[in-house]
Amino acid sequence: MDNAEASTPLPFQLLKLPAVALNQVVRMMHGSEIMKLSMCSHRLELFMKLWKYKLKRLEVHLKHESLNFKLTKACIVFRDRELKPHLEPVTKMSQLCGRLKENVCSTELVLFFSRETMFDLYYLVMSLFAPAAIQWVLNIEELPRETLLRYLDKGLSENCSEISIENGNLSIERLTELMDRIPVTKGLKVTSWIPSKFKHPNAFKYRTIWYEVAHWVTLDDLKSIRNADSVVLKWTSFDSKDLNEFLRYWVDCEEEMMKQLMFGIHKVIDKNILTDQLLVLGAKDGLLPHYHLKKINHKTGKIVVGRVEISYGIFMQLRTYDIDHCPRSLAILEEMEKEAALKK
């Protein structure tokens, strides 16, 4: 044996490990590594299915010619190709091994699959993981109406936690049709363009809300939100006076509105107008100014502290915290309340 052969390390034989040790090794892998490992051996695939590895989040992107899975630190894409399409049923991960291409920018490509096999692939991948949240992403630029609705209904039947509509321009009729189908118990994210006259009774009832184009959103829409986890309105037609009116409404509202809110406006936020008639405690984290506000529900006696942050001059974020999270800020706010009451 020459020196080159002697220095070559032997392959690490995972299948010879005891099950407990194998489980610990695999738990240190990324999602895409687990998928590739399951392609190597049907026995390994059965282990992966038995253990079902936890993921914080899994994004499923459905396009006209591909099925993309965005995992925590990588992406795997099953892509349709006219050349040598895979037409027979896909029942195990080892069938995919010969179609796996090189990693490109943290993306694994698995080529030559027909659209008829896409959901077979979906079920194979999902059998390996136990994601805490599943987001289905539908590209309206690539999907015709019938396919879009079919994929949406499929995602809802698979108990996804959030629907994301991306790219292109939505008509009032198309977005209305989609919202009529999506239950308010789901999260909804829309990055597509939305007409300025759009209205829907469920638009602000979803568990999480994200509208990239939000010029159509009114203050009354904002004030109607209840029990949302998060709300993002990327570009609105609001000004500093509107933000102030909303904050004053939020402070006085006796109901839970949202845990966090972020929106942007086109003009620089005037901090004096923003905090007008509000009792606020101002501070800075580095260069970013922020303000604390106290909110009390007089029906239940529950107190929360709101933290308002301004970034890039045009974005405002409101986050809510229980009193245990920032007792010092709450104590100062209550002292400020007493001083304000004495001056009246």
Read off the pLDDT of residues 273-332 as tens digits, 9 standing for 90 and up: 999 999 999 887 777 778 999 998 878 888 999 999 999 999 999 999 988 888 888 899
Strands (E), 92-152: 107-110, 129-131, 134-139
Amino acid letter, 279 = L
pLDDT at 7 over 80: no
- In degrees, rounded to 5, the angle at the alpha carbon of residue 227 between the alpha carbons of residues 222 and 228 is 65
Per-residue confidence (pLDDT) for residue 96, from 0 to 100: 80
Listed in sequence order, the residues at least 6 apart from 41 whose beta carbon sits closer than 8 Å to its beta carbon are 15, 94
Query: Average pLDDT for residues 74-96, to the nearest whole number?
Result: 70
Query: Average pLDDT for residues 214-229, to the nearest whole number?
Result: 97
Mean of the per-residue pLDDT values of the chain: 87
Measured CA to CA, the distance from residue 293 to residue 336 in angstroms comes to 11
Amino acid letter, 145 = R
Per-residue confidence (pLDDT) for residue 232, from 0 to 100: 98
Here the tokens at position 122 are: 């979906």
H or E element in which residue 171 lies: none
> What proportion of the chain, given as a percentage, has pLDDT over 90?
48
pLDDT at 178 over 70: yes
Q: Is 269 helix (H, G, I), strand (E, B) or coil?
A: coil
Per-residue confidence (pLDDT) for residue 9, from 0 to 100: 61
pLDDT at 86 over 70: no
Measured CA to CA, the distance from residue 97 to residue 35 in angstroms comes to 10
Measured CA to CA, the distance from residue 289 to residue 286 in angstroms comes to 8
Per-residue confidence (pLDDT) for residue 240, from 0 to 100: 96
Per-residue confidence (pLDDT) for residue 285, from 0 to 100: 73
Confidence of residue 187 (pLDDT cuts 50, 70, 90): very high
H or E element in which residue 217 lies: none
**Closest C-alpha among 248, 344, 342, 335 to residue 295:** 248
Residues 247, 278 contacting (CB under 8 angstroms): yes
Measured CA to CA, the distance from residue 110 to residue 105 in angstroms comes to 14
> What proportion of the chain, given as a percentage, has pLDDT over 70?
88
Q: For 282, list phi and psi in degrees, rounded to 5.
A: -90, 150
Residue matched to tokens 């304000």: 340
**Closest C-alpha among 57, 45, 110 to residue 79:** 110
Note the pLDDT tens digit of each residue in 93-112.
888 877 777 665 556 667 65
Per-residue confidence (pLDDT) for residue 8, from 0 to 100: 61
Query: Average pLDDT for residues 107-120, to the nearest whole number?
Result: 71
Confidence of residue 69 (pLDDT cuts 50, 70, 90): confident
Q: Supply the pTM of this predicted model.
A: 0.85
Per-residue confidence (pLDDT) for residue 158, from 0 to 100: 87
Query: Average pLDDT for residues 211-217, to the nearest whole number?
Result: 97
Q: How many Cβ atoms sit within 10 Å of the Cβ of residue 279?
A: 16
Query: Exposed, middle or buried: residue 67 (CB in 10 Å: 0-12, 13-18, 19+)?
Result: buried
Measured CA to CA, the distance from residue 47 to residue 53 in angstroms comes to 10
